[in-house]
Structure 1
Amino acid sequence: MNVVVWIVTGLLAALFLMAGTTKLAKSREQLGTDPRMGWSQDLPAGMIKLIGAAEVLGGLGLVLPGALEVATWLVPAAAIGLAVLMAGAVVTHARRNEAASAGFNVVLLALAVFVAVERIGPQAF
């Protein structure tokens, strides 16, 4: 099971690192040109950057502590933080009637909860 947890963790980390980097690197206007990022026009630029930073830090927090065997408690903490972030994303997309995006965020939320539960419980470091 540990291998499965690592695979899910790695996939989540890669996804959040890419998504967060995109939010940090692009302006609010540039993000708005992507049909999947229409929500970005409803938020101030600073909030988008904060979300991007949280995604990057969360992605790093999913992998680095476990890989380096330092402060491994950060792995479930990062997973919980990302789950909370995805709960907000689900609400945002649901309010905008973006069912596909909301559904994708539900899957990410579930995977983040899976990692948190496994790293707190049976597959703790």
Structure 2
Amino acid sequence: MPLELVHSPALSDRAPYAYAARVSGGSLVFTAGACPLDEQGRIGPVGDYLGQAEHVMRNLVTALAAADALLEDVAKTTVYVATGRREDLLAVWDIVRTAFGDHEPPSTLLAVPLLGYEDQLVEVEAIAVT
């Protein structure tokens, strides 16, 4: 099956993977977990669940756009939050849901003990259909 890994010059190259992948004819798009990395590869805002969730969603939109997809094309998301508090989990979920507007793809929301980058609190991955 032909597969194109998609990289965006608008996202940090610190991550050792493509930000999205396009499968044969562009019908399926799989993103890596969108992280709260700025263009220089720094995590931010440190310690701020809501700020990181907003940053993650902007980066997810950018990764999807690099693969010719929109949030409205997303068929499934997985949302990871490094917390032991349900309040943090639900606050992040509110940011993610707001970004999607009326589009409500299936999602998995998980509290995890640790994410890949130092000070990282939020990550969102998506599968889209174009």
Decide which structure has the larger Cα Rg and report it. Answer: 1
Higher helix share: 1
The normalised TM-score by structure 2 is 0.29
